[in-house]
Structure 1
Amino acid sequence: MHPDATDSSGAGLNLAPAAATGGRRAPSAPGELRPDPREDAAAPGAPGGGSWRVPVAVAALAAVCLSCLGPGCWEAVGGAGPCTVLLGLSLYMGCAAAAFLLGTLFSLVCRSRRAPPPDFVAAWRRLAAAARRARGSPVYGNSHESVQSRRVVISHNMDKALKEVFDYSYRDYVLSWYGNLSRDEGQLYHLLLEDFWEIARQLRHRLSHVDVVKVICNDVVRTLLTHFCDLKAANARHEEQPRPFVLHTCLRTSYDEVRFLQMCSRVLVFCLLPSKDVQSLSLRIMLAEILTTKVLKPVVDLLSNPDYINQMLLAQLERREQMNEHHKRAYTYAPSYEEFIKLINSNSDVEFLKQLRYQIVVEIIQATTISSFPQLKRHKGKETAAMKADLLRARNMKRYINQLTVAKKQCEKRIRILGGPAYDQQDEGALDEGEGPQSQKFLV
């Protein structure tokens, strides 16, 4: 016998690795011909190669049983009628088919892979990790992280305000009852936040197609005019019976008002919800009821109160006066040019920066006009303008205009960063389209 045939460590046949690896083939050496895996599967020694033997064995066993009935059995049956013979043959064939099907099913069950048992430990670890991350959710203080990581929907200031509204609403109306039922606040928070921003995008997209000038200057004005005319006619004292003031159908009773608000809420929900959520009827009904009872009804009651409207108008007028005084004081009493630039860079109020830019442009126009005339005569009633001219002449006019131009550009840059209008692009378009003198192009 050849030594290689008996040496288990040589290059001969070795059955130990195959048994140790559970039927897995060891990696072949370079250049070695590897047999087809399908041939291995069909081989008798392969793990799945003997599975076809079970149905064949069952079929053979059924055939042997039929043949073992012997001639005596068939002779006994031959004495009976043809119906009995056919019934016996049908019974035998049915038993053989049932045995074949059972063998096939048994072989399929043996070859199928068993599903791995559920990993309860890993699931419990995931739940514990989610519970530990709950305190790190944006509801507990980090309200600006998601605003910075996603795209701007409306503007930086508006998105920040909407984010605060959502956080407070989630804390007061959702977390107040959901926190006692579950500790997974983070996942629900992010899901609701994504839907909230999607609704904001849909609302912004639809409002962008509205003609604001037509709505404010035509529709709102005509509606208010008609309302006050009817109100004046209803309150006028005449000898005859005054005509009744016609109300909207939804204002007849409180029930009609709620029904009308429900209809408006359903339209809003249908138009603003994402397409994947609109298909759910129960979700639409629930959101419409919440929007009716918690948003629209309180807003209508608040706006219907005349005292609230008067107080809001007074507050806005007082705020406007305070802003004008602050702007005038900040612009007039800036101690130096460097402090003026610091004031621009440190301010985050877009309206203040717009007003400041307007004043800088006016100052540039005045300085350019005064520098164009060598002498400015004082006229009666214009002492203030003459004193202004004297103060400007005392400065280095070219340097002063350059400083104002730099401050104007810095102010426009700050406005653009805060989400305001881009004045640079507007100025470039005006310079490209304008055909006037050079001084007019510079001052546009």
Structure 2
Amino acid sequence: MTLSLSIWGWGGLGVVLFLVTFGPFAIFYLAFYIFCFIGGGFAVTLLYGKINSEKHLEKWEHSYLPPTQIGILKTLDEMKLEMKPIKIDRRLTGSSFIDEPLQQVIQFALRDYIQYWYYTLSEDESFLLEIRQTLQNALVQFSTRSKEVDWQPYFTTRLVDDFATHLRVFRKAQDRLTDREDKQRDITEEMIESFFEAEVEMERKICRDVVCTSHKDEEGFLRDLCELLLYLLLPPGDFHNKNMRYFLREVLARGVLLPLINQLSDPDYINQFVIWMIRDSSCNYEAFMNILKLTDKPAELELICC
């Protein structure tokens, strides 16, 4: 009891002397100094550790130790075995003069319509190779079936009749246009309307005005045509794959057929083609083109061509 009283007495005396000497706020100052000491030591320790860690990383940054392998080794080995290169046979029709341009058309179509967005999603080229292989299989089937068709009657009879019918419809539309008294409408619209009216009269139940005058309907018609061709040429498994079929349909319709039709419909291309055909003819270019513009008698053209 006496010992505890002496401890409390001396302790209280020490506190009183401390407060008298340093003031009533000395306790707060002491606590603040202790906190700053501990915090400063902690900050110095962190800074020292950070500097040493950076030096250690710089030292081992260019280490020649092999990197650790990511993933399960067995799974990685199986994936490497599955990644076998796909070999594509570039033969399509059996003629190198035809196969090379066709391969270029396929390459350009894939580049312009698939590769530019596909490489933003994946670098795996197996999908592109599958599309290319499917296109080539369709072309091979088309070439094989084309060889079984007797083209001579078509080129000598039906194609000539269709071309002659087209010229007759055009001439009939021109005659109607000259007979009309209403000259206020646009001559192009008048010609188109007269042409398809004459076509309905001569072809009876066939009229191609919607397909020929509407770009949207033309694309829809080409899509339907390509889908029909794919149905005839592709194996059932590839055709029933909707993603693959839609890709091929768009590539063929918008990348091959539509540009081809636009080129064949270009008047400048037709004129250049006519010039190329008569290059070895005795009639010069200027005279032949003037005769085409001025004459309306087939007999004169026959005399010139003969």
User: 1:258/1:316 Cα in 2 relative to 1: closer, same or farther (>3 Å)?
Assistant: same
Structure 1: gaps of 5 or more residues:
1-118, 139-144, 322-444
Deviations 1:284-310 (A, max 9, x none): 344323433333222222222222211
Q: In the TM superposition, what is the alpha-carbon distance from 1:251 to its structure 2 partner?
A: 2.5
Equivalents in 2 of 1:153, 1:252: separation in Å? 35
Deviations 1:391-440 (A, max 9, x none): xxxxxxxxxxxxxxxxxxxxxxxxxxxxxxxxxxxxxxxxxxxxxxxxxx
Equivalents in 1 of 2:278, 2:158: separation in Å? 25
User: 1:255/1:190 Cα in 2 relative to 1: closer, same or farther (>3 Å)?
Assistant: closer
Q: Secondary structure at the match of 1:244?
A: helix
Q: In the TM superposition, what is the alpha-carbon distance from 1:268 to its structure 2 partner?
A: 1.4
1:160 to 67, 89, 100: 100
Map 1:296-375 → 2, pairs under 5 A: 296-315=257-276, 318=279
Q: Secondary structure at the match of 2:269?
A: helix
User: 1:193/1:286 Cα in 2 relative to 1: closer, same or farther (>3 Å)?
Assistant: closer
Q: In the TM superposition, what is the alpha-carbon distance from 1:129 to its structure 2 partner?
A: 8.7
Match for 1:244: what amino acid? Answer: S
Partner of 2:297: none
Partner of 1:228: 167
Partner of 2:252: 291
Q: Secondary structure at the match of 1:245?
A: helix
User: 1:189/1:281 Cα in 2 relative to 1: closer, same or farther (>3 Å)?
Assistant: closer
Partner of 1:275: 236
User: 1:259/1:157 Cα in 2 relative to 1: closer, same or farther (>3 Å)?
Assistant: closer
Q: In the TM superposition, what is the alpha-carbon distance from 1:125 to its structure 2 partner?
A: 5.1
1:266 to 219, 224, 227: 227
Map 1:9-20 → 2, pairs under 5 A: none
2:145 to 206, 211, 218: 206
8 Å CA contact retained: 1:258, 1:292: yes
Report how many residues are paired: 189
Q: In the TM superposition, what is the alpha-carbon distance from 1:127 to its structure 2 partner?
A: 5.7
8 Å CA contact retained: 1:154, 1:204: no
8 Å CA contact retained: 1:265, 1:291: yes
1:245 to 181, 189, 195: 195
Partner of 1:72: none
User: 1:169/1:287 Cα in 2 relative to 1: closer, same or farther (>3 Å)?
Assistant: closer
Equivalents in 2 of 1:281, 1:179: separation in Å? 21
Q: In the TM superposition, what is the alpha-carbon distance from 1:212 to its structure 2 partner?
A: 1.3
Identity of aligned residues (%): 25
Q: In the TM superposition, what is the alpha-carbon distance from 1:200 to its structure 2 partner?
A: 1.6
Deviations 1:180-216 (A, max 9, x none): 322322x334423332331122101221232211111
Q: Secondary structure at the match of 1:182?
A: coil
Equivalents in 2 of 1:222, 1:179: separation in Å? 49
8 Å CA contact retained: 1:195, 1:274: no
Equivalents in 2 of 1:189, 1:281: separation in Å? 16
Match for 1:245: what amino acid? Answer: F
Match for 1:221: what amino acid? Answer: V
Equivalents in 2 of 1:174, 1:252: separation in Å? 29
Match for 1:227: what amino acid? Answer: H
Q: TM-score, normalised by structure 1?
A: 0.36
Map 1:38-437 → 2, pairs under 5 A: 120-124=72-76, 146-147=89-90, 153-185=93-125, 187-236=126-175, 237-238=178-179, 244-246=194-196, 248-249=208-209, 250-315=211-276, 318=279
Deviations 1:119-138 (A, max 9, x none): 8324435667999x99xx99
Structure 2: gaps of 5 or more residues:
1-70, 183-189, 197-206, 282-306
Equivalents in 2 of 1:310, 1:120: separation in Å? 66
Deviations 1:306-333 (A, max 9, x none): 2221123334555x79xxxxxxxxxxxx
Match for 1:174: what amino acid? Answer: I
Equivalents in 2 of 1:183, 1:130: separation in Å? 16
Partner of 2:288: none
Q: In the TM superposition, what is the alpha-carbon distance from 1:263 to its structure 2 partner?
A: 1.8
Equivalents in 2 of 1:254, 1:196: separation in Å? 25
User: 1:176/1:265 Cα in 2 relative to 1: closer, same or farther (>3 Å)?
Assistant: same
Higher-RCO chain (CA-CA 8 Å, sequence separation at least 6): 2
Equivalents in 2 of 1:177, 1:130: separation in Å? 26
Match for 1:170: what amino acid? Answer: L
Equivalents in 2 of 1:252, 1:168: separation in Å? 28
8 Å CA contact retained: 2:109, 2:251: no
Equivalents in 2 of 1:152, 1:299: separation in Å? 20
